[in-house]
Structure 1
């Protein structure tokens, strides 16, 4: 009887040993896989760096020489709502309403057509609308007229001409006080699109 007891305990003992060994083997395999992956990356490091540099340089030169740059210029109109020198709350409220109205006026057919004729522009009405953006900062009577163009000089010319045409139009048609040109649009020195830095980083 005593000789049979060891044989009965052997399977249980063997199972526990196997279960204790398996986790160690799996961890060893994981460590080996990570080391192999690291070795592969290190052995190909120069090719990886070369690929990153080629991608970055390619994106930079493509942006620099093949993508058409766009320039943006902004002029500001100050909306006058009263001839009185005393400014009260209602004057500010009326000025805010007029600024909102002037946003619509800039895009009217008459204003765009007059601007085109004055500058002999080759653009259609729809092209003009896409070039222009208007912003009325909250709680102000300032109207920001921004024009984007492939030519920095043209962007400034159109923005300034728009302000002149709008100023005359609101007096003749809307019978309101003529807005003052707060600041003329300047010829931009830097393009706003596309961004060489951003495209270079994306290429990398």
Structure 2
């Protein structure tokens, strides 16, 4: 068989061996679901939110004609300050404080990888998320970060203050793994594996199945063909049936 397979041949080939594709798809999909359910450790997310007020750090001029420029400058300053606030909350000093005050004694490096701090719409509102395998510990860590930020940020930025908008919640359900996502990926992967197996089986099958295979493989003209024994049997059976029907018709006449 020629090593090149067009789309029509591929479709016919897959349909012919569809049971392999279906079996592979279901098998890998089920294995992916079982893996996510029994082997992937569930992760829980606890979230809280703070607002950093820096109004006492900014002095506005009395010229009203500059109000638009002042508002724009204040917005840019807020965006830059939000980035600085995030870096403060990820500093080694602050993380050591959180580790000690929470009673978890989690190393700062690991604690940093568990934290996600985002500025809401580039404002001074910060959303703090802690991800951990234990929902209670995740909540304790998030709440400790919120409480300690009230003293740490004003310590560095004189005149600023921090208010807690949302306290840390205790997560009830894990945020990961997503069993549906794992299963969907497994089904797609299984489908690809099944199709690949069917194609590989056909490519490595050197048997000549019909006249077209022989022509494409050796590029020689076909002078004649010998029917298979099954075809011969069918022809002989058909001739025998016709002869028998003719004899029966003569007998009755």
Question: TM-score when scaled to structure 1?
Answer: 0.70
What secondary structure is seen at the aligned counterpart in 2 of 1:69? coil
Question: Structure 1: which 5+ residue stretches go unaligned?
Answer: 1-29
Shift of 1:164: 0.6
What does 1:91-130 correspond to in 2, within 5 Å? 95-130=78-113
Given that 1:82 and 1:91 are in contact with CA atoms closer than 8 Å, whether structure 2 keeps it comes out as no
Given that 1:147 and 1:159 are in contact with CA atoms closer than 8 Å, whether structure 2 keeps it comes out as yes
CA RMSD, Structure 1 to Structure 2 (Å): 2.9
CA distance in 2, matches of 1:80, 1:156: 24
* 1:153 equivalenced with 2:136 (yes/no): yes
1:18-46 residue CA offsets vs partner (Å, 9 max, x unmatched): xxxxxxxxxxxx9xx949x73x5445433
Question: Given the superposition, is the C-alpha separation of residues 80 and 45 from structure 1 closer, same or farther in structure 2, using an over 3 Å criterion?
Answer: same
CA distance in 1, matches of 2:48, 2:132: 14
What does 1:7-18 correspond to in 2, within 5 Å? none
Question: Given the superposition, is the C-alpha separation of residues 83 and 58 from structure 1 closer, same or farther in structure 2, using an over 3 Å criterion?
Answer: same
1:162-195 residue CA offsets vs partner (Å, 9 max, x unmatched): 0111111123343233211111222233333332
Other-structure match for 2:47: 74
CA distance in 2, matches of 1:178, 1:172: 9
1:130-151 residue CA offsets vs partner (Å, 9 max, x unmatched): 1112111334221111111112
Shift of 1:95: 4.3
Question: Structure 2: which 5+ residue stretches go unaligned?
Answer: 61-69, 188-253
What secondary structure is seen at the aligned counterpart in 2 of 1:49? helix
Shift of 1:93: 5.4
Given that 1:79 and 1:95 are in contact with CA atoms closer than 8 Å, whether structure 2 keeps it comes out as no
What does 1:179-190 correspond to in 2, within 5 Å? 179-190=162-173
Other-structure match for 2:23: 50
Given that 1:80 and 1:95 are in contact with CA atoms closer than 8 Å, whether structure 2 keeps it comes out as no
Given that 1:92 and 1:141 are in contact with CA atoms closer than 8 Å, whether structure 2 keeps it comes out as no
Given that 1:170 and 1:176 are in contact with CA atoms closer than 8 Å, whether structure 2 keeps it comes out as no
What secondary structure is seen at the aligned counterpart in 2 of 1:68? coil
CA distance in 1, matches of 2:143, 2:45: 12
Given that 1:160 and 1:185 are in contact with CA atoms closer than 8 Å, whether structure 2 keeps it comes out as yes
CA distance in 1, matches of 2:169, 2:98: 18
